[in-house]
Amino acid sequence: MSKELAEAKELIKNLKQQVENLHWMKNHDYKFLVDENRRLEQELNETKADNKKLAQQINDFEAKLRDASF
């Protein structure tokens, strides 16, 4: 087998794999997973923001107790 033929066969193999990947990406399951990932990232970001707010509230309450000599 010539070098050019081997390269062409490898290129065809790679292109077929890329086409299969594109078909899979268009699949409903993939879209669902992308949407679910976005939803979970948003939920995570909201949880982190809530945790920061709660930590600040706790620190403020702790400072008030300290000022009141508890």
Residue pLDDT tens, the chain, 70 long: 788 889 999 999 999 998 888 777 677 777 888 899 999 999 999 999 999 999 999 999 999 999 888 6
Tokens of 50: 């809530």
For residues 17, 19, 24, 26, the Cα torsion angle rounded to the nearest 10 degrees is: 160
Instruction: Quote the pTM value.
Output: 0.55
pLDDT for the residue 11 = 92
Instruction: Report the alpha-carbon distance of residue 18 to residue 21 in Å, rounded.
Output: 5
Instruction: Report the alpha-carbon distance of residue 60 to residue 15 in Å, rounded.
Output: 60
pLDDT for the residue 23 = 75
Report CA-CA distances (Å) from 1 to 4, 7, 28.
8, 10, 41
